Amino acid sequence: MQKPTNSYRIIHTADWHLGKTLEGQSREDEHDRFLAWLLEQVGELEVDAVIVAGDVFDSGIPPQNAVRRYFEFVSNLRDRSACKLVVIGGNHDSANQLEAPVPVLEFLGTRVDGRVKEDPEARILHLPDSGNPQVAVAMIPFLRDADVRKGKAGESPDEIRKSLTEGIRGKYEETAQALNALSCPALATGHLTVTGMRSSESERDIIGGLGDVSHKIFPERFGYVALGHLHRPQSPDDGRVRYSGSPIPLSFSEAEDHKEVRVLDVTPDGIKDFSLPIPISRNLVQLKVSFDELESRIPEFSPDAAELTTWVEVVVEGAVFGDELSNRVRELAEGKGYEILKVVRLKGENEKGGAILADGENYEFILDHPDQVFQRLLDQKEVTDETERERLKVLFGHVRALVEQEEGEES
């Protein structure tokens, strides 16, 4: 991990989701430990810049303790080093809220772009400075529908999908063209969904799932593409395009994920990167059992421990309504050194690796995934024609995008 001579070292992280809760439980202790660890790595590894690729906060109107935690990190980073902080907005963030303190943040060595700038040249950040750039960063935050295209009446889902993809591709291509006068290496940021990647239950669909793009849309001029939105660390290619993932597991579907940040070493010859594992402060564990196994499995269950109390989701197959399932499971686990956070009846598994739960038992998931609520409504209304279902889902996705954009502008 020794820093190469004459290199510029960057940490790529994303999806902090400050202010996030899980089943009503605060994640503040985990976030505090992650941010303290990140500050230590900046010093120990001689890091020159930290990039946060969107979703600093879990909502457009974050709680005050989450905002305070963010500003404390900015202040501590400034106090301890000359490391710069580079932040783009995500689909959970409010662009207005992120950009409101920009004059102060710039003074503290922090660049924040909550929304994409109209001028492609204005999107380019020179690091360490414009006088002697060692690396150019294309600042491209979460792109809303209105940022990339103009809608037309009567468009089909395929036409909307194509125009969204071409609009996103166009933003990256015109930004890459703005780099023509620079000879230094360049990287791009982004907050979006690349097709073929593994998602999890804690991610909110973007524009009804229509904004997914191929990793091939990113111009080769970018030696690395630092992405946010998907919470699992992964890459769709040889590593040039990469998600750092979230620093803590944000749902039980991420219980077995290995969390990391990426460290980039930029030299005149290009960009090399490697994984830096994040220490586990709290284990999330999924325990799947049949109803008949409860009496034997729960008492003998002993999950791995960490610094903070382990949280467990127990998924029970074969239980029926009328059973006092939650109370029974908690009684069996009493005094075992871990906390049962959630007990659910299993109906199956979804494509994101999470449980499909009995009606009325998945409130947090439902509230954060309105697209799936709408899909349930289509099922209930027995809309079986696939063309009509797709058309209604597209319309719903656009309404959602407009509402979220209005909320972001107001907050």
Per the omega criterion (within 30 degrees of 0), is the bond before 128 cis? yes
Mean pLDDT, the chain, rounded, equals: 87
pLDDT of residue 403 exceeding 50, the answer is yes
Share of the chain above pLDDT 90, in %: 66
At residue 351, the 3 state secondary structure works out as coil
Given a cut of 50, whether residue 351 has pLDDT beyond it is no
pLDDT at 149: 86
pLDDT at 356: 47
* Per-residue model confidence (pLDDT) at position 360: 41
pLDDT cut 70: percent of the chain above it:
82
Rounded mean pLDDT, 1-30? 96
Average pLDDT estimate for 149-164: 79
What band does 322 get if pLDDT is binned at 50, 70 and 90?
low
User: What confidence tier does 372 reach under pLDDT thresholds 50, 70, 90?
Assistant: low
- The model carries a pTM of 0.86
**Between 362 and 398, whose confidence is greater?**
398
Domain 8-277, CATH class in plain words: alpha beta
Q: Which tens digits make up the pLDDT trace of 79-124? A: 999 999 999 999 999 999 999 999 999 999 999 999 999 999 999 9
What pLDDT score does 359 carry?
Answer: 39
| Angle subtended by helix axes 386-410 and 157-177, to nearest 10 | 40
- Where are the domains positioned within the chain? 8-277, 284-368
Lowest mean pLDDT among 282-286, 298-302, 379-383: 379-383
pLDDT at 302 exceeding the cut of 70: yes
Average pLDDT over residues 281-293: 93
166 to 59, 149, 171, 242, 397: CA distances (angstroms): 28, 9, 9, 21, 18
60 vs 66: CA distance, rounded Å: 12
Backbone angles phi, psi at 199, to 5 degrees: -105, 180
pLDDT value for 141: 97
**8 Å CB contact between 212 and 177:** no
Q: Using the Cα atoms of residue 277, residue 280, residue 281 and residue 285 in order, give the sign of their dihedral.
A: positive
What count of other Cβ atoms lies within 10 Å of the Cβ of residue 339? Answer: 13
